[in-house]
Amino acid sequence: MSIRYLSNITLALIGGFEVVASQAFAADVFAWLALAGGAAIVALLGIATATAERGALQRAMDAIGAVLGAALVVTSLVFAASTFTWIGLGLALAVVVVAVAGLTLHELKTERVVHSIELQERPAREREPIAA
């Protein structure tokens, strides 16, 4: 598995957990979970961006994801817990969207490689009429 796929699926899992946590836990608990999740997102994308296999588009998506992770951290500390529940839900959904877009880009790159393989055609043979 590539680092690109692993980082995007991990990002999707963290974002999905934050979405569920925003509705399942109390506002104070969710604020702390979002702080931890945001820090994990920033750390994950900081490490993943250091690899050489990521293209310019994936690095841009990593930057957007890191900004969203940092926003989770900052807003969880700045806003009241009841207000942050909805802000955190929106940020977590945005993280999921970025992760799914990254997974889609990874899949498109893989499909391009598969479809670029040249097929060898058999030489055309002459057709003979069917004997009656």
CA distances from 22 to 25, 26, 35, 91, 110 (A): 6, 8, 12, 11, 34
φ, ψ at 116 (rounded to 5°) = -85, -5
Q: Judging by beta carbons within 10 Å of its beta carbon (0-12, 13-18, 19+), is residue 103 exposed, middle or buried?
A: middle
pTM of the shown model: 0.78
Q: Is the pLDDT of residue 114 over 70?
A: no
What confidence tens digit (pLDDT) does each residue in 65-109 have?
999 999 999 999 999 988 999 999 999 999 999 999 988 887 777
Tokens 């959904």 correspond to what residue? 93
Q: What confidence score (pLDDT) does residue 54 get?
A: 76
CA 16 to chain centroid, in Å, comes to: 11
What confidence tens digit (pLDDT) does each residue in 116-132 have?
555 545 666 677 777 76
Helical spans, DSSP H, in 1-132 = 3-24, 27-49, 56-78, 81-115
Average per-residue pLDDT for the chain: 86
